Each structure stands twice: as structure tokens, then as C-alpha cells.
């Protein structure tokens, strides 16, 4: 079955700097890759996603890149703000079914 | 529609007791998922429904766990004879096929 690895497990950046989180997946058939942000005591919230027919997608300060050959995808957050502090999860799936999540990255944005 | 609702938010139970959680999905979503999340880990798939049909169950879902989605609307997850290892956050999500999940806020279960 699918296995998703995520690095780093913790990340601290200064406010205004960029943050990058990387994930790798094992099943080459996976074709949908969402990213979720989880704040303390809340459920994960979808922040951006990418499908396998696209190499990059941007939404304001957030971007995701996908390298199908290498089976990895990355989340890029620019101009980080304190409210970006949270745990971020990547996931992989086939046609949006039964997401397999990575272990998470705890991002701290220091003022 | 205000999103996915889960009830209760927190549940403390004694080992050996039965517990039941409820999830109300977004009304137009026909798929409903249950995930379990332990501290410091990503959510792990338990089971999912398309309308009222339960289409897949994870090996994580032992015989003590049962889920239902009568009439394809709300869903319940029951855990019988709870064990301390069942302590976790139980997350419900709903979606349309091919889209990202919308998660609820979860039910945090503590078994003492």
C-alpha cells in the first residue's frame, strides 16, 4: 500500500521568511496530493492540493510543487506570519480515495 | 451548511465501556470517512461510506469497532469494550468523489 514520508518533523522560521516542507510517496499510481493545516484542538483544514497532471500550483503565499518521476511533492509558504504556526500534513491518494497522510510537520513562526 | 459536525467533542470513559460518536457531514457530500489520530501522528484511515454503503474498512478497525451510516446522512462510530489503546482523536470527513476532504473538529476519546 501507499506510504508517505514527510520532512522535517519540526521547522522554526523567522516571521517573513519562507518555509518548505517535503513529502515523498511510494505508490506511483497516486494522483491527488492535498496539504492540510491543523491547529491545536481542531480538525485538519485543506489549504491547497495538486493533481498529477500539474507540476505546480499557487494560492497567494502558498504553493505546492510535484515531481512525479521522483515521487515527491513540496509545500512552500512565503512571507510567513505567526498565524501560519500549526502542524502541516501532506497526503497522497488515488482519485481522492482513502488518503494516506504523512506524520506531520510542526511549523513555528517566530515574531 | 456549516461544515462537518462531530459530537461529542470530548469523551472520557472507563476501560471496558462502550462509546458511540456521531458525525454529521456536509449535506451534499456523498462520501464520509472516519480517521483516527494519535498524538504527534497523521490521521489513519479507518473506514469510509459512499451514501449508506460501507465500502472499505482498515485492518485497524478491529471487531470491537462498528460504523454505520443509515440513509446516507449522519454516521456513527461505536467502540465496544474500550481499551486504553483506543485513546485518540477520532476524525470524520466528508467529500465529493475526487475532491479534498472537509474534516470535522474531531472527538477526543480518553480511556481510563
The per-residue pLDDT for range B89-101, each reduced to its tens digit, is 999 999 988 788 9
Q: What is the model's pLDDT at position A41?
A: 86
pLDDT (tens digit, 9 = 90+) per residue, A21-32? 999 999 999 999
C-alpha to C-alpha distance for A60 and B71, rounded to whole angstroms: 40
Q: What is the model's pLDDT at position B98?
A: 77
For residue B6, list chain A residues with Cβ-Cβ distance below 8 A: 43
Closest residue in A to B98 (Cα) is: A96
Closest residue in A to B45 (Cα) is: A98
Q: What is the model's pLDDT at position B1?
A: 52
- Taking residues A30-44, report their average pLDDT: 94
Q: Hey, which residues does A4 pair with through a beta bridge?
A: A25
CA distance A21 to chain B (A): 15
CA distance A72 to chain B (A): 18
Q: What is the model's pLDDT at position B80?
A: 97
Nearest to B105 among A42, A91, A96 (CB): A42
Asked if B91 and A34 come within 8 Å (Cβ–Cβ), the reply is no
Inter-residue contact B13 to B78 (CB < 8 Å)? no
Q: What is the model's pLDDT at position A58?
A: 97
Cβ neighbours around A56 below 10 Å, total: 12
- Taking residues A58-69, report their average pLDDT: 96
Q: What are phi and psi of B85, to 5 degrees?
A: -70, -10
pLDDT (tens digit, 9 = 90+) per residue, A79-105? 999 999 999 999 999 887 889 999 999
Q: What is the model's pLDDT at position A97?
A: 80
- Which residues of chain B are under the pLDDT cut of 70? 1
Grid cell of A80 as nine digits:
510567513
- Taking residues A24-52, report their average pLDDT: 94
Inter-residue contact A36 to A44 (CB < 8 Å)? yes
Inter-residue contact B5 to A68 (CB < 8 Å)? no
Q: What is the model's pLDDT at position B92?
A: 98
Read off the pLDDT band of A1 (50, 70, 90): confident
Amino acid at each position: 500500500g501507499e506510504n508517505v514520508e514527510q520532512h522535517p518533523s519540526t521547522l522554526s522560521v523567522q516571521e517573513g521568511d519562507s518555509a518548505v516542507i517535503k513529502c515523498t510517496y511510494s505508490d506511483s499510481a497516486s494522483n491527488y496530493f492535498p496539504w492540510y493545516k491543523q491547529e491545536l484542538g481542531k480538525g485538519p483544514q485543506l489549504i491547497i492540493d495538486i493533481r498529477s497532471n500539474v507540476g505546480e500550483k499557487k494560492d497567494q503565499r502558498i504553493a505546492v510543487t510535484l515531481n512525479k518521476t521522483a515521487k515527491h511533492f513540496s509545500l512552500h509558504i512565503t512571507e510567513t506570519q505567526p498565524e501560519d504556526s500549526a502542524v502541516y500534513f501532506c497526503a497522497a491518494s488515488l482519485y481522492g480515495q482513502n488518503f494516506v497522510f504523512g506524520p506531520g510537520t510542526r511549523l513555528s513562526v517566530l515574531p | 451548511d456549516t461544515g462537518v459536525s462531530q459530537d461529542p467533542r470530548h469523551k472520557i470513559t472507563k476501560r471496558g465501556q462502550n462509546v458511540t460518536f456521531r458525525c454529521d457531514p456536509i449535506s451534499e457530500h456523498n462520501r464520509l470517512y472516519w480517521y483516527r489520530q494519535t498524538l504527534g501522528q497523521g490521521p489513519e484511515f479507518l473506514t469510509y461510506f459512499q451514501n449508506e454503503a460501507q465500502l472499505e474498512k482498515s485492518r485497524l478497525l478491529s471487531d470491537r469497532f462498528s460504523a454505520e451510516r443509515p440513509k446516507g446522512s449522519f454516521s456513527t462510530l461505536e467502540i465496544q469494550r474500550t481499551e486504553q489503546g483506543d485513546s485518540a482523536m477520532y476524525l470524520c470527513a466528508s467529500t465529493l468523489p475526487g475532491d479534498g476532504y472537509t474534516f470535522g473538529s474531531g472527538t477526543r476519546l480518553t480511556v481510563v
